[in-house]
Structure 1
Amino acid sequence: MSRTVAMVIMGAFTLYFLIPIWWLLVAGSKDTGSILTTNPLWFADFQLFQNIGDLFAYRDGVYLEWLRNSVLYAGVGGAVATLLAGMCGYALAKYRFRGREMIFNVVLGGVLVPATALALPLFLIFSEVQLTNTFWAVFLPSIVSPFGVYLTRIFAASSVSDELLEAARLDGAGEVRTFFTVSIRLMAPALITVFLFQFVTIWNNFFLPLIMLRDESLFPVTYGLYAWNTQLNQLPELRSLVLIGALVSIVPLIVAFLSLQRFWRSGLAAGAVK
């Protein structure tokens, strides 16, 4: 009975998450006139590939520019954030120094602060140094991950043994070389987990670009689609472009999850246990 109940609950939640994606796929395959007049959960005239072509061609490919910006913000930002978080977590786990626990407690406090609460202070700071409406206004805040520091510290404390580090030092390896050749390999599941979380967070980030950016060429795909959506009353033909653009925008996230899921599962489980 308990197994059946669990399967029913998981099936219900699976449908809850998959139905919006199915609706987006169906709506993205229709023309503008059929979106509101046909069955919302089934296909009408299948024009998916034509709609994708129209999306990429609209206004000389501005959507592709937004997609490239999102890849830069999320891909490069997530990689840098993962590296910094790994180095900080490793240092907090393996080095003894005064104030270590206080620093870690501050990091834990950072985990509890919602990103939206930091948006306005960040805007004021970047305004003072004249970096608003630039690539750096979105990129620099994205490379900080308090959760990543927390996870990598917990993981490094249990997966990287002190004896192994001592053996590397006896062999003449410096601290930096030891980290990049020994420790980082043992911390790989946690680092990939941090990267995946950070990638998704940056990709879906909307509020920070909203207050930081005014130049359309710097928009990420989320903010670009929002800008199109606000123009539907004046340009109804944008409705199909918004829908197909939203569908295309989730493809990188699906690819990232499918390609890194085995590392993500192991890293998340290990972090939870340790």
Structure 2
Amino acid sequence: MTTVRIPQARKRRNVVAHLFLGLLVVYFLVPLWFLIVASTKDAHGLFAGSAGALWFDKTFAFFGNLGGLFTYSDGIYLRWMGNSLLYAVSGGLGATVLAILAGYGFAKYRFRGRNLSFAILLGSVMVPLTALVIPTFVLLSGLGLTDTIWAVILPSLLNPFGVYLMRVYAADAVPDELLDAARVDGAGEFRTFFQVALPLMRPAVVTVLLLSIVGTWNNYFLPLAMLSNTNLFPITVGIGLWEGIASSNNGGGGQSLWSLIIIGSLLSIVPLVIAFLSLQKYWQGGLAIGSLK
């Protein structure tokens, strides 16, 4: 039996690479750990606790903070959470459907102005979304849609990066030979798309769906500019409102509000974690690529 010896230089590179990855893991997990630890502290533990910011205090106030969160201001946090779910699901699903149709059309159909349209699409990917908020506000204000749920949902339906991703993926993952074979067998364009192309595009569909949902859920500037009714706020704007109140009234009840802000921030990431864990099994693609070669 022969043994393979790994050169010392390669071993050192592996050690350095693992150390770097370990530092990255710590860098990303420390804020989450702080959020979990801080959510178990009361106002006194947050600002005058002896255990430190990254460790638990003697008083375990998680459930008390949770109860205060759900009852504060007549339970408006639950309304904000419901608004975020509505905006994220509606905007995410709508943006995904449009991205699938547009990306598939760009990839598999030849039409006049296709290259120009796709070039404009690529250019729009480079435009920051925050730069479009004010023009979008002016447009929706003229239509009388500001301070409504449509002011958040309609702009969220546009996802140029999702269209680009679907176009690139569909071009490689959906062989033209499969589409031609389906057409020869008598399948129409809609049946060919839904029964042949769409199953092969499933990994990209799930990716675009998650990116769209996360982007809409975390969106702050758009609903901040579009909405003035606190009952329509998503969770991002609502927590931002509480943060402003707590900062301006830090000595008169603002400290206790910080406890609600922290545990509210922790709960706001739970739906995203559930979405990632429940959809990760669909991230397996490329199984049909090369099946005809």
Equivalences for residues 218-257 of structure 1 within 5 A: 218-232=232-246, 233-234=248-249, 235-236=253-254, 237-257=256-276
- Cα root mean square deviation, aligned: 1.5
The amino acid of 1:42's aligned partner reads W
Counterparts of 2:262 and 2:25 in 1: how far apart (Å)?
22
Q: Is the 8 A contact 1:196 1:264 kept in 2?
A: no
Q: TM-score, normalised by structure 1?
A: 0.94
Q: Which runs of 5+ in 2 are unaligned?
A: 1-11
How much does 1:252 deviate? 1.1
Greater Cα radius of gyration, structure 1 or 2: 2
The question of 1:150 aligning with 2:174 is answered: no
The amino acid of 1:243's aligned partner reads I
Q: Is the 8 A contact 1:78 1:142 kept in 2?
A: yes
Equivalences for residues 121-136 of structure 1 within 5 A: 121-136=135-150
Counterparts of 1:65 and 1:111 in 2: how far apart (Å)?
32
Counterparts of 1:167 and 1:266 in 2: how far apart (Å)?
21
Q: TM-score, normalised by structure 2?
A: 0.88
Counterparts of 2:194 and 2:93 in 1: how far apart (Å)?
15
2:40 to 19, 29, 36: 29
How much does 1:183 deviate? 1.0
SS at match of 2:56: coil
Q: Which runs of 5+ in 1 are unaligned?
A: none
How much does 1:227 deviate? 0.5
Q: Is the 8 A contact 1:229 1:242 kept in 2?
A: yes
How much does 1:172 deviate? 2.8
The question of 1:97 aligning with 2:111 is answered: yes
The amino acid of 2:260's aligned partner reads L
> Structure 1 residues 174 and 265, CA, compared in 2 at 3 Å: closer, same or farther?
closer
Counterparts of 2:282 and 2:23 in 1: how far apart (Å)?
26
Counterparts of 1:83 and 1:61 in 2: how far apart (Å)?
34
Counterparts of 2:283 and 2:76 in 1: how far apart (Å)?
33
The amino acid of 1:207's aligned partner reads F
Equivalences for residues 1-274 of structure 1 within 5 A: 1-38=12-49, 39-44=52-57, 45-232=59-246, 233-234=248-249, 235-236=253-254, 237-264=256-283
Which digits, 9 at most, give the CA deviation of each residue in 1:68-118, with x for residues without a partner? 111111122111111110110000000011111111111111110000100
How much does 1:265 deviate? 7.4
Q: Is the 8 A contact 1:193 1:263 kept in 2?
A: no
How much does 1:6 deviate? 1.0
Other-structure match for 2:5 = none
Percent identity, aligned pairs only, is 52
Which digits, 9 at most, give the CA deviation of each residue in 1:19-48, with x for residues without a partner? 011111111111112101121111111121
How much does 1:264 deviate? 4.5
Counterparts of 2:211 and 2:117 in 1: how far apart (Å)?
22
Counterparts of 1:154 and 1:92 in 2: how far apart (Å)?
9
Q: Is the 8 A contact 2:202 2:285 kept in 1?
A: no
SS at match of 2:77: helix
How much does 1:50 deviate? 2.3
